[in-house]
Structure 1
């Protein structure tokens, strides 16, 4: 038997949980997640963007999140993230708000709004605690009273599963250990704990044996690794290059201005002030060039404008000018 594909790959994850044939698998998984929340469990779920053969693993426009709607009207977004795209907390709230506000048509009442649930499965850690599953609501600080049940955010981090013992019964941990794809856990025991996992495991085994699915999986893995590497390169090299160029240019300008002042105030004092001014100007120019380089690379990655403005510190107009100059 060929090596199993990694179910944390968002392409594979959507094939398992986001296909019409596996709606029962998605429903069972979601109810295990929501059992830790404050709202009711689901009785039926509809996948609003099911996987199709048109989903290209290397196309940045392809959406490998799972958008679902429950029979009670709840909207659910499930997203798998192998690599840290940074500012994921704000990104999560931004996409939650877009999903929530998109429910209302012109003339409809606010009471028509249903709860929106965001579920993030992360292959890295962002929450400073030891819990592998964190649930967030909008609640009053002192009394704990929930203002509204419409917002619910689940963050699950695979990196915190390393010391988890094999579960003795049903529950979310069985699903997460399956997704973590760790050989140290007994699949048969997980199947017994969660019967619907049997179908999920069969789907993964089928995909792992399918030649076309494996090719698409490898394309997606390459795309995800390339995207993460480009983002890291943009940040690291943008900072280094900006500082180097800014310092050299700033020193040259500062020395020139300092020598001119030195003719009037004394060579020693002029050079001192010139260097200080040059260093400051160099820092400012270096910071701008660093930010512009990062913004340009993030635009090439297809990252949204709001995230780029926040990450780079540039204005919307400055980022737009960079986009035009790079013809993106």
Structure 2
């Protein structure tokens, strides 16, 4: 079809283009509303959303720019920020906190103001795991808590994290809308037809929007570029993890020989992994940035995907 090599039928939602086409466009707003409502499990029902500007600066022009994947406001004036975290980031929790400051500060009013704030939701769809203690615990909902009473201290700031690699339910095991949405996000690019378990009208819309064969030439080329960037990023992560594993084992064996104790091997393995991961990520980030720069990607987008500074990217040949 128009010379396209359609190996997949549906887009990969982990790509920047795919995620924003499904959840960041006015025409597909009902998809975002359904997904968010499924996350809230009936605590709140959103009937309408308004998309907001996704680019934000800090308190001064010199501050680093924050670019959100999807940023919107519901009918109550509550802010909802949805981020697709495509690969492991060393400080992804810090990033979430930093991003939360923007919808907080923009509510400030001039003159007399009583500091009353609207609710804020930060939703992170993670294509990696950060909690290794429980393989079944993948839906994290975080709020400020009083350590003594164990009660929620402030309920207007909510962080929701979804560790997608931990969600392994099959089509036959899907019962709730929440499970169905996670199944779609996890498996969409691997599907060749719409699963029978997903018969709700909203999924009819999703599969229509996600079908690559229906893209215009401009959309298809944009998706291909986005898919290439995602694959580069994934390769960067995979390479870093391979280096970390190798370095970790070597460090663990060396430490074990020196002190002859099991604890020493564990500590060496941990240090090796951390050091290997750091070095591997940096090396692959530079390689990816150089490739993207050659292809003419904007500096801001390269910074976002590689976490390199503007100066580091500018100096690349």
Alignment-derived partner of residue 209 in structure 1: 214
Question: Hey, what's the Cα distance between the residues in 2 that align with 1:175 and 1:64?
Answer: 21
Greater per-residue helix proportion: 1
1:325–1:88 Cα change, 3 Å: closer
Alignment-derived partner of residue 302 in structure 1: 303
Alignment-derived partner of residue 142 in structure 2: 136
Question: Hey, what's the Cα distance between the residues in 1 that align with 2:223 and 2:12?
Answer: 9
| Larger gyration radius, structure 1 or structure 2 | 1
- Computed over aligned residues only, the root mean square deviation of the Cα atoms, in angstroms, reads 4.1
Question: Hey, what's the Cα distance between the residues in 2 that align with 1:46 and 1:233?
Answer: 39
1:70–1:184 Cα change, 3 Å: same
Question: Hey, what's the Cα distance between the residues in 1 that align with 2:115 and 2:68?
Answer: 30
- List alignment gaps of at least 5 residues for structure 2: 55-64, 248-274, 290-301
1:33 corresponds to which of 19, 33, 39: 39
Question: Hey, what's the Cα distance between the residues in 2 that align with 1:325 and 1:197?
Answer: 43
Alignment-derived partner of residue 84 in structure 1: 88
2:120 corresponds to which of 108, 116, 123: 116
Question: Hey, what's the Cα distance between the residues in 2 that align with 1:88 and 1:62?
Answer: 13
Following superposition, the deviation at residue 152 of structure 1 comes to: 0.5
Following superposition, the deviation at residue 63 of structure 1 comes to: 4.8
2:219 is equivalent to residue 218 of structure 1: no
1:147–1:190 Cα change, 3 Å: same
Q: Would the aligned equivalents of 2:78 and 2:119 in 1 still touch at CA under 8 Å?
A: yes
Alignment-derived partner of residue 197 in structure 2: 189
* TM, length-normalised to structure 1: 0.63
* TM, length-normalised to structure 2: 0.65
Alignment-derived partner of residue 127 in structure 1: 131
Following superposition, the deviation at residue 102 of structure 1 comes to: 2.2
- List alignment gaps of at least 5 residues for structure 1: 51-60, 241-286, 309-318
Question: Hey, what's the Cα distance between the residues in 2 that align with 1:324 and 1:197?
Answer: 40
Higher relative contact order (CA 8 A, sep 6+): 2
2:104 is equivalent to residue 100 of structure 1: yes
Question: Hey, what's the Cα distance between the residues in 1 that align with 2:239 and 2:183?
Answer: 32
